[in-house]
Amino acid sequence: MTRNDFAQALRILARDQRQVVTVGQLSGIGVSEVALRKRCGPGGPWQRVLPRVVVLRRGALSAWQRCRAALAYAGYPAAQAQLTGIAALALHGMREVLVPAEVRVVDVLVPAGRALRTHTWVRVHHARTLPGPELVDELPVAPLVRAAGDGVRASCDPDWVRAVLRELVWDRGIDPAELAGELRTASLSRKPGIDEALRELALPGRVRRPMGGQVRSLVALSGSRPPLWRPELRLDGVFLASPDAYWAREGVALVIGPAAGTNPLDTCGLRVVRVPPEALTTSPAQVVAALRAALGSGPHGPLDRVTVHPDHGSVKGI
């Protein structure tokens, strides 16, 4: 291989893999062990970040590079491997999870027969059968439920565990029974905070429909103050309902879903804006107009008797 061929092959590797490569790939394009040691040594332009994994620049790694390096350590793409745990949940866009750049440990899932061990900031999980991964930004990521199980296993914070499980069911539409089955299979149901959260999620009237960015965008277009997202409302201390959004000063609740008989929110006098899911995209102007009309005509209902449970509801966006 000529010097020009070597340089071209190196540029292609750096471009296609965002500068994260393996020692085997470098050897394959003609980089000798001596040259590799020199370039990764003091003053050199490259760095070894994990065994057999090199980044073709100095400095801190981006979130993507950390995830790709962890996969490369696990042998991907030549061998089966996928991201799981908190890093995978972050890539799935879970609100209750740190952004990927702040995830200190990257979890990878590999087949049970692989003789691969945890190393520094890469934690290895073995599975008899790997689930079908989802590609997120060109990275193979375990499905939400499996990633949640591995993330919960690593957490020591019961409050965080409950928040993640609620988000999975309330926001992502995960079946509570499916989630409970995954956690029990992984022997996690006795971990602090999990059993209580599963019982709560199984109660009737507390399962949300999945919602996307359309709701947030339409609420912003209405010009209203930020609502409480997915709060638990109580009337005189008794559970009332869990609307998708609630404006406490105006007594207005937003419910995404088809009309299904009388809602407790209606009977107590609060104003309910009920929006079929398809209306978010087919008639957004009507949704915005309905919100403005409801908020502008308030306040509604017995506001002094309605409270938001302190463990629920926030001004975070969806």
Tokens of 213: 């960015």
State how beta strands 252-256 and 245-247 pair: antiparallel
Residue 200, φ and ψ in degrees, nearest 5:
-65, -45
Query: Which residue has tokens 């879970």?
Result: 94
The set of residues, in sequence order, having a beta carbon less than 8 Å from that of 106 and lying 6+ positions away, is 66, 67, 70, 83, 85, 87, 121, 122, 123
Per-residue pLDDT, 70? 97
What is the secondary structure of 90-155 as a DSSP string?
A: HHTT-TTS--GGG--SEEEEEETT-----BTTEEEEEESSPPPPEEETTEEE--HHHHHHHHHHH-
In tens digits, what is the pLDDT along the chain, a chain of 318 residues?
Answer: 555 567 888 999 999 999 999 999 999 999 999 999 999 999 999 999 999 999 999 999 988 999 999 999 999 989 999 999 999 998 887 766 765 556 789 999 999 989 999 999 999 999 999 999 998 888 999 999 999 999 888 887 777 888 788 888 877 778 888 888 888 877 776 777 677 777 777 755 454 544 556 677 788 888 888 888 878 888 888 878 878 889 999 999 998 776 655 667 878 889 999 888 777 777 888 889 999 999 999 899 899 898 886 444 444 434
Amino acid letter for position 193: G
